[in-house]
Amino acid sequence: MADETTSSTLGELYTEIVAEALFVAQEASVLRNLVTNYNITGQGKEISVPIYAAVSAAAVAEATDLSNTAVNPTEATFTASEHGVMTTLTDLGASTASRNVAADIGKLFGNAIAKRLDQDLIALFDGFSTGKGADNTALTAATVFEVAATLRNQNLPINECALVLPPTVAYDLKANATNSFVNPADARLQNSIMGTGFIGSVGGLNVYESSNVSNSGTTGDYKCGAFHPSAIGLAMKQDIKIETQRDASLRGTEIVATAVWGEGEIYDSYGVEVEADSSIE
């Protein structure tokens, strides 16, 4: 009997799935590299991050004792939970497919895990206490500068802050920055947007586009976010992992991808919710 899928060939197949899934998951996630990451591998499923309030220094006369300043941090606790996806690869499918089945499944699983991770982090934008923009107004460069000023007012290095937008909201910002916004003497930003389609940075904020920013319930309305990495934490307990289980009666093998993480706010004032309405939806 020819074209059998033996245990040795299945072992090679799943090795390829693991490698492909790890690569795609890390490359496809936008938010993962923009927030503060905590590795809790080998620890419990919870991590508590101390949050320190700002303290002030004062002038003091010579030979005068300094008064005590209370330092009493609060905590942000992240609880990791499992996220996963499963499919069943039949023996016949594995042995007769014209494509690289391992790579295809790896890409599907990697993108699925990366998308869910980004969605969990993006959902935190709605929790920021400070908000700018409006859900019935297209995003403008002026609003982005207002957001940048708000974050600068928290003594944050603005070049470390990110603004995450869905592509259809980013369109409005691009159109506004290249047309109706008051043109500065130096038009390099406009020329760059016109030529590449990428915004880069506005008002010092690094602008990222992600289709994982979902509408807020009404077509065209979005809750975007601008933040410093210290605003949001991601506790990663287990990166993507692939396991298999043979189903003999089905003549196939279950392939399960899982990852374990928890996310949450750290410094609320280090983030701004940016509401906008897309003009092309």
pLDDT tens by residue, 111-143: 899 999 999 999 999 999 999 999 899 999 899
Which residues, other chains included, contact 172 with Cβ-Cβ below 8 Å and sequence gap of 6+?
A: 138, 139, 140, 276, 278, 279, 280
Q: What pLDDT is recorded for position 190?
A: 56
Whole-prediction pTM: 0.82
Task: From 123, 76, 83, 95, select the one nearest 230 (Cα to Cα).
Answer: 76
Type of residue found at 198: F
Q: What pLDDT is recorded for position 4?
A: 38
Q: What pLDDT is recorded for position 191?
A: 54
What does the radius of gyration of the chain's CA atoms come to, in whole angstroms? 24
Show the low-confidence residues of the chain (pLDDT under 50): 1-8, 180-181, 185-186, 194-197
Structure tokens at 106: 């790896």
